[in-house]
Amino acid sequence: MENREEIVNLADLALLAGGQVDGDPGVFITGVCSLDHPRHGCIALAVDNAKIAWGPGQDEPSALIVSKRPAGIDLPLLVHPNPRLAFTIALRHLYPVPELPEGISPLATIHDDADVDASVRIAPFTMIEAGTKVGPGVQIWPGCYVGRNSEIGEGTKIYPNVVVMHDVTIGRNCILQPGVVIGSDGFGYTPTEKGNMKVPQIGRVIIGDEVEIGANTTIDRATLDATIIADDVKIDNLVQLAHNVKVGRHTRIAAQAGLSGRVQIEDNVVIAGQAGFQNGITVGEGSVIAGRAGVIGDVPANSRMSGMPARDHRKALRIIALQNRLPEILDRLEKIEKRIADKTIES
Amino acid sequence: MENREEIVNLADLALLAGGQVDGDPGVFITGVCSLDHPRHGCIALAVDNAKIAWGPGQDEPSALIVSKRPAGIDLPLLVHPNPRLAFTIALRHLYPVPELPEGISPLATIHDDADVDASVRIAPFTMIEAGTKVGPGVQIWPGCYVGRNSEIGEGTKIYPNVVVMHDVTIGRNCILQPGVVIGSDGFGYTPTEKGNMKVPQIGRVIIGDEVEIGANTTIDRATLDATIIADDVKIDNLVQLAHNVKVGRHTRIAAQAGLSGRVQIEDNVVIAGQAGFQNGITVGEGSVIAGRAGVIGDVPANSRMSGMPARDHRKALRIIALQNRLPEILDRLEKIEKRIADKTIES
Amino acid sequence: MENREEIVNLADLALLAGGQVDGDPGVFITGVCSLDHPRHGCIALAVDNAKIAWGPGQDEPSALIVSKRPAGIDLPLLVHPNPRLAFTIALRHLYPVPELPEGISPLATIHDDADVDASVRIAPFTMIEAGTKVGPGVQIWPGCYVGRNSEIGEGTKIYPNVVVMHDVTIGRNCILQPGVVIGSDGFGYTPTEKGNMKVPQIGRVIIGDEVEIGANTTIDRATLDATIIADDVKIDNLVQLAHNVKVGRHTRIAAQAGLSGRVQIEDNVVIAGQAGFQNGITVGEGSVIAGRAGVIGDVPANSRMSGMPARDHRKALRIIALQNRLPEILDRLEKIEKRIADKTIES
């Protein structure tokens, strides 16, 4: 991505990030680079114990973001107690977010009864249905659909080919990555003699502010009431959130995780990739669920769970270690049996 | 979702559902609500032993659907031996299914050689290719693509951004949730010295009647012959059905399950979320496959399988219990060893 | 799929595939069929020990592709040391690849500053942004989006509803199945007191030549630098490749596998379905990762790994076998304990 073509110096950046300069405060910083691909004019993050060395023919970066001066390095530094935060602030300052051009494309289809703010940007091949409200500064990219009686909050960005069905409320400053589906029907059938009778899914989806949802993730509407995603929840790609799920504030859910119907995740939970959660369970606040964990019961607050079925992480590690020792355990058992048998023969 | 603004009374609803009224048969019912969010005018499902209590300031519902009168409750009742069925029938009666407006949008692209019934509804930005037949009452929402020589049966609804490639047959009264892909190429390559040579995937996909397919689910065409989904199969979101898979009638497949090439699932199977199935295996009718099960061999009819690798569920539970006891087992083994060693030293 | 309506005889096909004819070299071959659904005029692959028998009323195929003449079969044969390769070559010769009609649809939106070759075919409802280069012979199907400053190499085919975001480079002769998303933001946030601060994802995606990507698969851009998919990589449906992943040449990744951030997969690796890979690990070249394996550490070259956590496959099998014997192991332990206890009492 091009940067803003804005030039700041190291002192400006340190002030912005709340850090200190060690070295030339006037060095110009025009971008952010990695230690692997350093570029002149850029600042790079060097976490503690990072390998800092440039190959032959490689540029040096113009400055580093560090928590303390690395041995043998005399580059100008932005010193910050939380270097990753300073790095994030530098990226946010130096690089623009991709934007749609202003206005509503004549190739978009907006229903006359939709309430679309004058500042909204809408790309071609996108359709907005009746009764839907689209707030100030919203950007809706090509190929999207927003169904009836939905609401998109101020500043939210909806990337290409996203589907938001009817009766969905999305808060402010959210980001929907491409291919997201919100408000698909929950998976509900009543068995009858003639087969599966579909249970109409008449509930809603309510999504808070500052929520980001990853590419091709699906969020089903509730059977009754609402599927609820609270403020500042971050969801990765290809995640499944079923009907009536509730996710608490600040929770992060990594790719391909799956939450079955009525699962409740409380605030500040971290869920790693491909984890799965059985119908109706609750995960207490502050818990950490490891990748591929299969959670089949309620989880108390501040737990750390892993494995299938998910257990307390320390217990899971102990069990894995003992599984690895099963051949040895069997050997030892057989030795004892032999010894006892020998004794029997002897005696 | 708005309801039909149709007003029925409890007696009408009981008649429709095949249940009995206990209490005022004339009470008006305008919608369905949950016990958590009761609303005046609505009827709520109360399964056996459900907690029935309204908070301060909450409405009471106007009636309940139950199997028998709950203690301490004097609301009018719809009593039914299968309350969930009565609840489903009430929902289906009181709430309309979302519908497209009539007609074919001038912003849709329909090939002259497509055979589209006069009653079909097609939204903007959808394309139908040559040789494809679209039956009476079909609704195709925005952003869809239907390839050549395919067929969409009467009454089927295709929600936004669905892709149906060429040579795909879809039966009657199916529902395709947003983002579904049907007829993508199967994953087949022949290794050569120069790399992976693609095996053309020239087969079809055949989908029966009353099939529902969840958001962003993918169904590959067959290499030769056909991938076949029988009548009344219900598939959740983000499911993968590979080339030449066959799924039998009434089977339900929950989210993120994955069926590898040539897997055969017989009738009336229930597959829970994130389960996986190895190439070419068969799962016998009436079986239940637990969430995250990894099925690596044929499964006899009426089995219940869980775990990775999937085992008979009772055996899997026994093994999990013994895994939890591995620390204890090792302790006991060590005690015996120590005792024998002591004896040896003593003797 | 219709075939080319081209007629070859068995001798032509054998010459093309580098095999020998055994039987009538002049028999006409107009298509390829399976042994399950044989058709007159078609050639079928019969792998060693395949069951070759036609039901009543079934056609016989006109020839078989085999490694040696099967007992009791007198059909004309194409004999080849690698029959699957000959089968693939026959399919590729006899069946056309689906093609868009020539030209750029007036219903597509191409930015004036996009560099689109005169031979490119673009369907309706597709949008190409400024600064993007689309090479000769590229086909982009309906409902696609290609963002700014991206590049699509010669001969690449992009099926419907694919999203390619900005700063993505795709090589020559690639195939993107429907619903693919490339260049979505990596999942990166810096925790702050106020919540999750998004780390701008300013890196690119670089995809080599001859790469195929399955339906609804997602590939995130890098935080810095690039997510890199090398030549001849084949990726199945619903796969997640996170930011800064690198995948080496000829590697195949089956459906629903998930590679976390910074995972490196070397050349010629085979990854089966639903496998998962923890952040930053490396899988050595030539390795085979089994279905549902959970890889949590670096894997040496030419390894075969399975299970959760992934272990050397032989070790994993041994552990599974011993898990199955846990009830027996506990029994034997208890017998010893009882015996020792009895002895104690006796003595």
Question: A312-340, pLDDT tens digit by residue?
Answer: 999 999 999 999 999 999 999 999 999 88
Give the model's confidence band at A346: pLDDT under 50 very low, under 70 low, under 90 confident, else very high. low
Cross-chain residue pair A1–C166, CB shorter than 8 Å: yes
How many contacts, defined by CB atoms under 8 Å, are there between A and C? 186
Please pick, among C37, C93, C243, C250, the residue that the annotation labels catalytic. C243
Nearest-CA residue of chain A relative to B3? A202
Chain A CB contacts of C143 under 8 Å are 125, 143, 161
SS3 sequence, chain A? CCCCCCCEEHHHHHHHHCCEEECCCCCEECEEECCCCCCCCEEEECCCCCCCCCCCCCCCCCEEEECCCCCCCCCCEEECCCHHHHHHHHHHHHCCCCCCCCCECCCCEECCCCEECCCCEECCCCEECCCCEECCCCEECCCCEECCCCEECCCCEECCCCEECCCEEECCCCEECCCCEEEECCCCEEEECCEEEECCCCCEEEECCCCEECCCCEEECCCCCEEEECCCCEECCCCEECCCCEECCCCEECCCCEECCCCEECCCCEECCCCEECCCCEECCCCEECCCCEECCCECCCCEEECCCCEEHHHHHHHHHHHHCHHHHHHHHHHHHHHHHHHHHHC
> What confidence tier does B58 reach under pLDDT thresholds 50, 70, 90?
confident
| Cβ-contact A199, B88 below 8 angstroms | yes
Gap between the Cα atoms of B87 and C98, Å rounded: 47
CB contacts, 8 Å: C256 with chain B: 240, 256, 258, 276
Instruction: Provide the pLDDT for residue C173.
Output: 98
Instruction: Write the CA distances from A319 to A290, A323, B311, C309, integer angstroms.
Output: 15, 6, 19, 11
Which of A80, A93, A166, A243 is labelled catalytic? A243
- The encoded tokens of residue C337 equal 């304990």
Q: Is residue B309 reached through a cis peptide bond, with omega within 30 degrees of 0 on the bond before it?
A: yes
Contact A251, A228 (CB under 8 A): no
For residue C115, the model assigns a pLDDT of: 98
Q: Which chains touch C (3 or more CB pairs under 8 A)?
A: A, B
**A318, A338, B344, C341 from A332: Cα distances, Å:** 19, 10, 17, 19
Nearest-neighbour CA in chain B from A268: distance (Å): 24
Q: Which residues of A touch B30 (CB under 8 A)?
A: none
Length of chain B: 347
Whole-number pLDDT of residue C297: 98
- Least Cα distance to C233 among C261, C205, C260 occurs for C205
- For residue C36, the chain B residues in CB contact (below 8 A) are 225
At C216, is the secondary structure helix, strand, or coil?
coil
Whether the bond between C309 and the residue before it is cis, its omega within 30 degrees of 0, is: yes
Q: d(Cα B181, Cα B165) in Å, to the nearest integer?
A: 8
Indicate the average pLDDT of chain B. 95
Q: Is C176 exposed, middle or buried (0-12, 13-18, 19+ CB in 10 A)?
A: buried
Q: Which amino acid is present at C216? A: N
CA distance A130 to chain B (A): 11
Contact C32 B202 (CB under 8 A): yes
Average pLDDT over all residues of chain A: 95
pLDDT higher than threshold 80 for residue B3: no
CB contact under 8 A, B196 and C95: no
Catalytic residues of B: 243
pLDDT of amino acid A345: 56
Give me the amino acid identity at A175.
I
Query: Is there a contact between C284 and C300 (Cβ–Cβ < 8 Å)?
Result: yes
Rounded CA gap, A63 and B86, in Å? 69
Predicted confidence at residue B228, as pLDDT, reads 98
Q: Give the A:B interface size as CB pairs under 8 Å.
A: 186
A225/B159 Cβ within 8 A:
no
Using CB atoms, which chains have 3+ pairs under 8 A with A?
A: B, C
3-class secondary-structure state, position B321:
helix
Of C87, C160, C255, nearest to B258 by CB-CB distance is C255
Each residue of C73-93: pLDDT tens digit?
A: 999 999 999 999 999 999 999
- The CA-CA-CA angle for residues C13, C15, C21, to 5°, reads 75
Instruction: Please tell me which residue of chain C has the smallest CA distance to B215.
Output: C216
Predicted local confidence at residue B7, as pLDDT: 74
Is the CB of residue A252 less than 8 Å from the CB of residue A234?
yes
Question: Angle, nearest 10°, between helix axes A326-346 and C313-324?
Answer: 50
CA B146 to chain CA mean position, Å:
23
* The pLDDT value given to residue A279: 97
Can you give the pLDDT at residue B340? 85
Among residues C291, B237, B253, the alpha carbon closest in space to that of B245 is found at: B253
Q: Which residue of B has its CA nearest to A186?
A: B236
What's the pLDDT at C6? Answer: 65
Of A114, A168, A104, A115, the closest CA to residue A139 belongs to A104
Nearest Cα of chain A lies from the Cα of B29 at a distance, in angstroms, of 16
Measured between CA atoms, how close is C79 to chain B, in angstroms? 17
Among A149, A187, A322, select the one facing B254 at the smallest CB separation.
A187
Whether C330 sits inside 8 A of B333 (CB atoms) is no
Residue in B225, B322, B339 closest to C36 by CB: B225
B308: chain A residues, CB-CB within 8 Å: 308
Contact B95 A238 (CB under 8 A): no
Compute the distance between CA of residue A283 and CA of residue B1 in angstroms, rounded to an integer: 29
pLDDT at position C56 is: 85
Per-residue b or e along C3-27, where b marks 16 or more CB atoms closer than 10 Å to that residue's CB: beeeebbbbbbbeebebebbbebeb
Q: For chain C of 347 residues, list the mean pLDDT of each consecutive stretch of 10.
A: 70 96 96 95 93 88 96 95 97 92 97 98 98 98 98 98 98 98 98 96 98 98 98 98 98 98 98 98 98 98 97 96 94 91 63
Q: From A231, which residue of chain C is nearest by alpha-carbon distance?
A: C195
All residues at 6 or more sequence positions from C233 whose CB lies less than 8 Å from its CB, including other chains: C208, C211, C247, C248, C249, C250, C251, C252, C253
Query: Tokens 């309430």 belong to which residue?
Result: A115
Cα gap B252→B255, rounded to integer Å: 10
> Which chains share 3+ C-beta pairs under 8 angstroms with B?
A, C
Per DSSP (E only), the strands in C73-202 are 77-79, 109-110, 115-116, 121-122, 127-128, 133-134, 139-140, 145-146, 151-152, 157-158, 163-164, 168-170, 175-176, 181-184, 189-192, 195-198
- In chain C, residues with a C-beta closer than 8 Å to the C-beta of A292 are 276, 294, 308
Residue C264's H or E segment, with its range, is strand C264-265
Using CA atoms, how far apart are residues A293 and A281, in angstroms rounded to an integer? 14
Per the listing, tokens 């229930």 go with B270
Q: Do A254 and C238 touch (CB under 8 A)?
A: no
CB-based contact A255 C238, cutoff 8 Å: no
Quote the CA–CA distance of A163 and A153 in Å, as a whole number: 16
Of A267, C164, C87, A21, the residue nearest B188 (C-alpha): C87
pLDDT 10s digits, B108-157: 999 999 999 999 999 999 999 999 999 999 999 999 999 999 999 999 99
Chain B residues touching C327 at Cβ < 8 A: 318-319, 322
- The encoded tokens of residue A191 equal 């068995």
3-class secondary-structure state, position B157: strand
Please give, rounded to a whole number of angstroms, the shortest distance from the CA of B193 to a CA of chain C. Answer: 11
Task: Check residue B6 and give its pLDDT.
Answer: 65
A292: exposed, middle or buried (C-beta count within 10 Å: 0-12, 13-18, 19+)? buried
Encoded tokens for B66: 């139950």
Q: How far apart are CA B108 and CA B116, in angstroms?
A: 13
Rounded to the nearest angstrom, the minimum Cα separation between B199 and chain C is 5
Angstrom distance (rounded) from CA C157 to CA C176 = 6
**Whats the size of chain C, residue-wise?**
347
> Stretch A134-138: mean pLDDT, rounded?
98
Segment B181-204 mean pLDDT? 97
pLDDT average, residue stretch A104-119: 98
Inter-CA distances, A187 with A15, A283, B276, C41, Å: 52, 22, 19, 45
Averaged pLDDT for residues A185-196? 96
Check residue C209 and report its DSSP letter. S
**In this predicted structure, what is the pLDDT of residue A347?**
47
Q: Which of B204, B240, B323 sits opposite C237 (nearest CB)?
A: B240
Q: Distance between CA A122 and CA C166 in Å, rounded?
A: 18
Residues in chain B within 8 Å Cβ distance of A246: none
Question: pTM of the predicted model, to two decimals?
Answer: 0.97
Amino acid B347: pLDDT? 47
Please give the residue of chain C at the shortest CA–CA distance from B125.
C125
| Residue of C161, C197, C339 lying closest to A161 (CB–CB) | C161
Q: Do C190 and A215 touch (CB under 8 A)?
A: no
**What proportion of chain A, given as a percentage, has pLDDT over 70?**
97
Q: What is the largest CA-CA distance in chain B?
A: 99
Q: How many CB atoms lie within 10 A of CB A155?
A: 18
With CB atoms and an 8 Å threshold, state whether C33 touches B224: yes
> Long-range contacts of range B287-296, CB-CB < 8 Å, 24 or more positions apart?
B288/B313, B291/A260, B291/A276, B291/A278, B291/A294, B291/A296, B291/B254, B292/A276, B292/A294, B292/A308, B294/C274, B294/C291, B294/C292, B296/C291
